[in-house]
Homo-oligomer: A and B are copies of this chain.
Amino acid sequence: MSEQDKMIDELFNHDEELTEKQKKILAAAIESFAEKGYAATSTSEIAKKAGVAEGTIFRHYKTKKELLLTIVAPMMAKLIAPFVIKDFNKVLNQDYEHFEDFVRAMIENRTKFLMSNMQLFRILIQEIPFHPELKEQFKEHIAKKIFERFEKVIAHYQAKGQIIDMPPFSVIRMTASTIFGYVIARYLLVPEAEWDDEAEIERTVQFLMHGLSPIK
């Protein structure tokens, strides 16, 4: 079983099992959508790449759009998974005494996730601007939830005097910019450069910590 296959199994295997053909279709669609974009990918192209007949795609997914949503929805869900686990706050209080520990843990966890789902991440950020319903879904189900959770976290560490006193939204914005900036540069913009990942992550964490530390 290939990496690709494992990823697909993990992300898409909810209730019913996926047939072999369905997995092939998903894998082919993911590859093409990531590379050329949803609108520029034809269903016949996906069929050919997946090694199935054109009609087969429409047997499983009523429309091309549904195929996109099938791909994008679980990615969104998994993206915020760590932030919506029930005992997020408890974990927080117990595990991470310093904001730095929290940030480091978040970065490590999320970069690993994005890294092993880079194509899906690409599709997500490339297609959201073009599909209002995706945008809406993203804001409502993802951004809002993350923001709510994070707000408390920020307040928590601000109360402890570990973070500069600043509107939580701004803190979140900067943190997100910094982390996504790293991931995008690392895996999308210049993946071919030589990266010392450990050192670069360390620098990124330091940058964030200093940038957000309270002014003495």
Q: B-contacting residues of A (Cβ < 8 Å)?
A: 36-37, 39-40, 122, 126, 129-130, 166, 169-170, 173-174, 176-178, 180-182, 185, 188, 193, 200, 203-204, 207-208, 210-213, 215
Whether the Cβ atoms of B182 and A177 lie closer than 8 Å is: yes
- Secondary structure call for the A interface: helix
Whole-angstrom distance from the CB of A146 to the nearest CB of chain B? 13
Copies of chain A in the complex: 4
Q: Which residue of B lies closest to A200 (CB)?
A: B170
How far does the Cβ of A56 sit from chain B's closest Cβ, in whole Å?
14
A134 to chain B, nearest CB (A): 13
B181 contacts A174, CB within 8 Å?
yes
| Pick from B39, B180, B200: contact of A39, CB under 8 Å | B39
- B181 with A176: CB separation less than 8 A: yes
B-side contacts of A126, CB under 8 Å: 126, 129-130
Instruction: Kindly identify which residue among B39, B180, B188 contacts A40, using a CB–CB cutoff of 8 Å.
Output: B39
B130, A40: Cβ atoms closer than 8 Å: yes
Other A-B contacts than A37-B129, A40-B130, 19 sampled, CB-CB below 8 A, are: A37-B37, A39-B39, A126-B126, A126-B129, A166-B203, A170-B203, A173-B181, A173-B182, A173-B185, A174-B204, A174-B207, A177-B177, A177-B178, A177-B180, A177-B182, A178-B181, A207-B211, A207-B212, A210-B212
